[in-house]
Structure 1
Amino acid sequence: MLQKITHDAFKSHGSIRILYPGLAMPGQDSGIGSIGRIDHATVHGRQHIGMHPHVNDEILSYFRTGKVQHIDSEGNKDTVGATRLMLMKAGKRFYHEEYIDGQNEPFEGLQIFIRPGGKDLPPEVIFHDLKEHDSENQWRLLASPASDTAFTFSSQTWLYDVKLTARKTLALPPLAEKGFTALLYVYQGSVKVNDEIALNKMESLVSKNEVISIQADEDAELVLFLTDENAAIFKDGMYSGNVKNI
């Protein structure tokens, strides 16, 4: 199964464009397995997002340019940016605010809302420094259910990224062959899948039980999600949960 998700699937909310990937698929769920929602934000200048709650969301901040100062109800205060990522595991209830600095360098990045493996888990905030801004032509595993990855999800979810340079070709990681559902997201640039499906910036491809070859005519930055749709998840998170009648 291969299903392309185009730009038209996004909902606009000011400087943020919101993707509920399940809305492009058959069924009644706005997410796909544990992948609840993807926010793609672009900010020129400074912006303050006031203190607000999250409940039963696991939110990975994947910011590629610009910086964000994070303050939360657990007592954390830190700056997140291109090589310093953050995972907020909201659990029962969690509050945070953000000061976005896109003045000298325009801010652009993703906030990724993953569904937790259970309800009302303890809140936790984890920061991680990347050794390099990019992983060229090789998938970099950023988060998984395993405790030895940079970030640990409570659900059966894996998150990778890669910078695929011009004229290079890449297959999905071997884990994708185990029957998991994959969502390939183009963060920057454009690629072609299996010589026939063109994907441009902010477009996605959902696949299951498929062999995929990704080709780049120009440099492209990609984010890959793998989810086990048969595994236990909590689908009623504040932002990651199933949304109806959008």
Structure 2
Amino acid sequence: MITKIDNTIKYGKQHGGFGIQILYPGLIRPQLHDTGFSTIGRIDHAYITPGTVIPMHPHKEDEILTYLRSGKVNHLDSEGHTAILSNQKLMMMNAGSKFSHEERVLEEGGILQGMQIFIRPEVSNLPPQVQFYDLPEIYSVNQWRKIAGSGADYPLQIRSSTWLLDLRLEAGKEIHLPQSPCENVVFLFYVFDGKVTIEDHLILNSGESALIEEDSPTFRATETTDIVLFSTKTDALHFDGGMYIGNLQ
């Protein structure tokens, strides 16, 4: 089964130069009474102007991936880390029991476009930690690249049954889903920028996504497209009482 998630389901927020479109993926299954979908709590697609400062603020029980495609950010956190994040330097903040951070969008990087992805941990009250990863290349062209997940073969670790991959699919090229990491897995196929068709009839534009359950469709790029792929177990153990990954219903 393939379920399209278009941009009308998103919530928009704008404050000065800070703008985000928020996807609560569980809203496509209202009968489940959960704004998240299994371990996937919330996905923010951000557009932020240079010079914008997101002041020091707390997180609790959130597993947070910062994934940028343009712009640069000066990061500072309560664990003592400082770093410049970019489209080649990613960050995973495993907030755990207590964590705070500040982000300053740098002038030199231009307008920031990226995602902040909020994942649910297996259990609460885990110790806070911060991970960084330098991508060998900005884009992984026409093949899936492992970014973050549960397992030693993922460079950034998520503390639940969740896996994130990405790729840049060139215009006219086709791709299929990667091998499932385990049983009872569903995929959330997110078009960061571009346009793809699924099985030559379902169209996904920038910011749109599709939930793929028990199918292995063909995806074809009608223009060069950047994609982020989420997978999670439908029966995964997870804690949904976190600050940003919590169930709003």
CA drift of 1:45 comes to 2.8
Q: Tell me, what secondary structure is at the counterpart of 2:222?
A: coil
Deviates most, 42-51 or 57-66: 42-51
1-structure distance, mates of 2:49, 2:108: 6
Q: Summarize deviations over 1:175-209 as a string: whole Å, max 9, x none.
A: 16843011000000000011111000000100110
- Deviations, residues 61-80 of structure 1 (Å, cap 9, x unaligned): 00110001111001111111
Partner of 1:122: 127
* Residue number in structure 1 paired with 2:87: 82
Percent identity for Structure 1 against Structure 2: 42
User: Is the 1:176–1:182 contact (alpha carbons within 8 Å) kept by the matching residues of 2?
Assistant: no
> How many Å separate the matches in 2 of 1:229 and 1:238?
22
Gaps of 5+ in 1: none
1:60 matched to 2:65? The reply is yes
Distance in 2 separating the partners of 1:70 and 1:130: 17
Show the counterpart of 1:142: 147
Structure 2 Cα separation of the partners of residues 226 and 157 of structure 1? 6
**Correspondence 1:37-116 to 2 at 5 A:** 37-101=42-106, 105-116=110-121
* TM-score (structure 1 length as normaliser): 0.96
Shift of 1:44: 2.5
How far apart, CA to CA, are the structure 1 residues paired with 2:243 and 2:197? 35
2:10 counterpart of 1:6: no
Question: Which of 20, 36, 48 is residue 16 of structure 1 equivalent to?
Answer: 20
Which secondary structure does the structure 1 equivalent of 2:248 belong to?
A: coil
TM-score (norm 2): 0.95
Aligned length: 244
Give the match for residue 227 of structure 1: 232
Unaligned 5+ segments in structure 2 are none
The answer to whether the 8 A contact 2:72-2:108 is kept is no
CA-based RMSD of the aligned residues comes to 1.3
Asked if structure 2 preserves the Cα contact closer than 8 Å seen for 1:167 and 1:215, the reply is yes
Contact 1:141 1:159 in 2 (8 A): yes
Counterpart position of 2:191: 186
Structure 2 counterpart SS, 1:36: strand
CA contact (8 A) 2:72 2:109 kept: no
Whether 2:204 is the aligned partner of 1:202: answer no
How many angstroms apart in 1 are the aligned matches of 2:218 and 2:109? 38
1:186 & 1:45 partners in 2: Cα distance?
24
- Tell me how far 1:25 sits from its aligned partner: 2.1
* Cα offset, 1:104, TM superposition: 5.1
C-alpha displacement of 1:155: 0.4
- The 1:177/1:4 distance shift into structure 2, 3 A limit, reads farther
Shift of 1:9: 1.0
Match of 2:221 in 1: 216
Which one-letter code corresponds to 1:22 in the other structure? G
Q: Which amino acid aligns with 2:119?
A: I
For residues 195-239 of structure 1, give each alpha carbon's deviation from its aligned partner in whole angstroms, at most 9, with x where no partner exists.
111000000100110111100111000000000121211011100
